[in-house]
Amino acid sequence: MLVLRALSALAILPALAALPAGSSAQAASSPAAVFAIELAEPGVIGPRPLKPDEARRLALATEALRREVAGRGLDPVDLAPQAAAIRRDAPLYKCEGCAEKIAQAAGAALVVYGYVQRSAPQVLNMNITITDVASGKVLRGGQVVIQGDTDETWLHGVRSLVKNRLFAEPLPNRS
């Protein structure tokens, strides 16, 4: 079961407004830095090694996010050359602008990043945000509550967020 909550959407970049809405005709793609989804653990001091299931699900969710945004007109850029900066600045969801700097170095116009936070053993919150590299402003974002800690619930969470929050119709400034 998923519960969606939208974050307030600010002005949308023309690049985001030009995204196709599920049609087979693709608009000009916008380069986007799609970062790995991270695990947020507010009660834990310092980093800890991920459990095997957590690492696998984060990788599955990240790959699903990349596929979903690419299928909607964003062109994921190669972030491998920025691997050291990503490791240095992680977690990106709370580094206050470092993701935009890394994305700019990679040639991206947009930043897509997210995190999962465990509320209870079988309840997780997934947050995904799209920001503008130049201004750092949030263009679109959303949160989904995932009930059930399985591969399928995580993947369903990503697909639901992308469809119902990040690329939901109507997109502003689009005719």
All structural domains of the chain with their residue ranges: 2-19+30-41+49-166
pLDDT, position 107: 96
Q: What pLDDT is attached to residue 21?
A: 41
pLDDT at 168: 83
Determine the pLDDT at residue 170: 57
> Is it true that domain 2-19+30-41+49-166 has CATH number 3.40.50.10070?
yes
- pLDDT of 63: 97
Assigned token pair, 10: 């600010």
What is the reported pLDDT for 94?
Answer: 83
Cα three-residue angle 117-16-143, rounded to 5 degrees: 20
Check residue 127 and give its pLDDT. 96
How far is it, in rounded angstroms, from Cα 159 to Cα 175?
Answer: 25
What pLDDT score does 28 carry? 53
Residues of the chain with pLDDT below 70 are 1-28, 44-47, 170-175
pLDDT of residue 144: 95
